[in-house]
């Protein structure tokens, strides 16, 4: 079996993974594994921007206060303060890699063109038009390509992490590598490394409707869980309030920045409604806006609601949001003159693998950063545009922590066994994978969405349990493919989301249940830490 050895293994190629690779390349040889092309990540599709205090009119304290307010009492204030305080230095690093953020003209006073989004009390969102993620992704990939110490391995999907505990060794449990499927050759190899950084992003594809790209199948969460790492606060799934509603549109996000520039949420008659739900109107945090839209749609029977920015000058609208304008125009919508039809869709996981601010977990040498991690920054609801900052800052802190540990030891004395197929054969029933994939996502959308009840969660738990049994049998009977691995992962994470939601007997932030509509006076985390996790 083909085997590779590196000093550091980074899984994921978004902002968290690529920044990790750049920092770690100063310490040794780095492999970056990505299951499709390296540019295909959630980061690549981020429109709004990256939040950071950049002017004397703003302060870290104010940014902290906005984050804590959005987090509905569940943020770890020390973590929030540390990440936000590291922001300016981290932005300087990003700019050094070649990222170009939008600036104001001299007539406008010069400096960066800072946007404002829901929940922010100041303009502090750096952006590159409405293609911020694309600018970040392209610039970081260019920087990574220039580093001889970094090898990017595309179309390589991790099947499972290899730990000393799983190998049956008596010494301290730690990760020593991973079994990896090369999706192009369908061969399985091992990649060994004494330090592993998981930066695989979230899992919006666990839900039927999502703003996320197809790669967002919660792989890192499932990998960590099977390795035995605790999972925290998985009930807090952020539904972005405004995805484009059109029969031919797939997962296209209408950035929150458009509301930051004055767009109002309205009904089909053009009447604003958000003031009935929150004094901040259309600039309320995402959990409030998503629930308001959901309630309006259900109470009026409308299939969607609308964003209205027609009161702004067309030149400004098209210039500030060129990608949104161009994409909507392709669907026959002129955003400067027409109402923009929108619906909520699964967008961001505020929970994840329980990890420190530097990404450390309960397994030595195994780090998780970015959306896959739950550090305490986001609490029960993420403040807009804090996620890209978190990924970049935590990569910086992780590398600092790893550097302090000295030269890595790849433990060549540890024998990793060959991957065993145990009589598995090529599948002639691919339709089963597609059917179960759709059923998992439909079930989660119907029963574990924006508004929940005990009965809906019980139904979801039963259905997902049955589906996981079918998936388990299929996984053992047939040779491994990327599709079955993704299905296995979203089903496992769906079960974790349901378990977490069932255990929270209150409504807080993104978790709203009709059976417990009040918020408990004492905030607590939901932690699932079954011994050793599950292998399937």
Residues tagged active-site:
286
Count of Cβ atoms closer than 10 Å to residue 267 Cβ: 16
Q: Tell me the C-alpha distance between 321 and 335, whole Å.
A: 9
Count of Cβ atoms closer than 10 Å to residue 329 Cβ: 14
Query: Partners of 307 in the beta sheet?
Result: 265, 340
Residue 341 neighbours by CB under 8 Å, 6+ apart: 244, 245, 246, 304, 305, 306, 333
Q: Do 325 and 309 contact (CB within 8 A), yes or no? A: no
Considering only CA atoms, give the Rg of the chain: 22
Sign of CA pseudo-dihedral 355, 359, 363, 364: negative
Q: Tell me the C-alpha distance between 287 and 66, whole Å.
A: 14
Q: Tell me the C-alpha distance between 275 and 295, whole Å.
A: 14
Sign of CA pseudo-dihedral 86, 12, 29, 192: positive
Q: Tell me the C-alpha distance between 39 and 168, whole Å.
A: 37
For the record, the structure tokens of 11 come out as 């899984």
């Amino acid at each position: 079996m083909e085997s590779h050895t590196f000093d550091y293994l980074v899984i994921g190629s978004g902002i968290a993974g690529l920044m990790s690779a750049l920092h770690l390349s100063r310490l040794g040889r780095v492999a970056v594994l990505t299951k499709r092309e390296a540019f295909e990540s959630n980061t690549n599709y981020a429109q709004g921007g990256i939040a950071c205090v950049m002017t004397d009119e703003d302060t870290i304290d104010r940014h902290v206060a906005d984050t804590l307010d959005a987090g509905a009492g569940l943020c770890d204030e020390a973590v929030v303060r540390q990440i936000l305080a590291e922001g300016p230095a981290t932005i300087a690093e990003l700019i050094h890699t070649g990222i170009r953020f939008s600036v104001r003209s001299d007539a406008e006073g010069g400096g960066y063109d800072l946007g404002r989004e829901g929940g922010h009390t100041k303009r502090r969102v750096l952006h590159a038009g409405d293609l911020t993620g694309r600018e970040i992704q392209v610039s970081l990939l260019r920087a990574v390509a220039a580093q001889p110490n970094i090898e990017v391995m595309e179309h390589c999907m991790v099947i499972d992490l290899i730990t000393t505990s799983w190998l049956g060794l008596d010494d301290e449990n730690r990760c020593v590598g991973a079994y990896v499927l090369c999706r192009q050759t369908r061969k399985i190899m091992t990649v060994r490394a004494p330090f592993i950084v998981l930066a695989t992003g979230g899992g919006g594809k666990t839900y039927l409707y999502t703003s996320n790209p197809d790669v967002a199948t919660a792989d890192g969460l499932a990998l960590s869980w099977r390795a035995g790492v605790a999972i925290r606060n998985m009930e807090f799934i952020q539904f972005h309030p405004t995805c484009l509603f059109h029969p031919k549109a797939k997962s296209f996000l209408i950035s929150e920045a458009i509301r930051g520039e004055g767009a109002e949420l309205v009904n089909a008659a053009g009447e604003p409604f958000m003031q009935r739900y929150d004094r901040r109107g259309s600039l309320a945090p995402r959990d409030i806006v998503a629930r308001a839209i959901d309630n309006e749609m259900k109470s009026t029977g409308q299939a969607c609601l609308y964003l209205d920015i027609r009161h702004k000058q067309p030149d400004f609208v098209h210039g500030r949001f060129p990608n949104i304008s161009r994409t909507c125009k392709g669907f026959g919508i002129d955003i400067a003159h027409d109402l923009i039809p929108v619906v909520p869709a699964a967008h961001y996981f505020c929970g994840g693998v329980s990890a420190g601010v530097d990404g450390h977990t309960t397994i030595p040498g195994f780090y998780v950063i970015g959306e896959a991690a739950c550090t305490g920054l986001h609490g029960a609801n993420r403040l807009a545009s804090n996620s890209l900052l978190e990924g970049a800052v935590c990569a910086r802190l992780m590398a600092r922590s790893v550097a302090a540990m000295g030269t890595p030891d790849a433990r060549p004395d540890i024998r990793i066994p060959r991957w065993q197929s145990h009589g598995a054969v090529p599948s002639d029933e691919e339709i089963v994978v597609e059917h179960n994939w759709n059923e998992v996502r439909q079930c989660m959308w119907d029963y574990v969405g924006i508004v929940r009840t005990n009965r809906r969660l019980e139904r979801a738990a039963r259905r997902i349990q049955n589906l996981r049994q079918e998936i388990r049998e299929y996984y053992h009977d047939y040779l491994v493919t990327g599709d079955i691995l993704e299905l296995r992962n979203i089903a496992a994470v769906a079960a974790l989301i349901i378990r977490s939601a069932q255990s929270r007997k209150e409504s807080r932030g993104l978790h709203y249940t009709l059976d417990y509509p009040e918020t408990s006076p004492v905030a607590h985390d939901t932690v699932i830490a079954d011994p050793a996790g599950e292998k399937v």
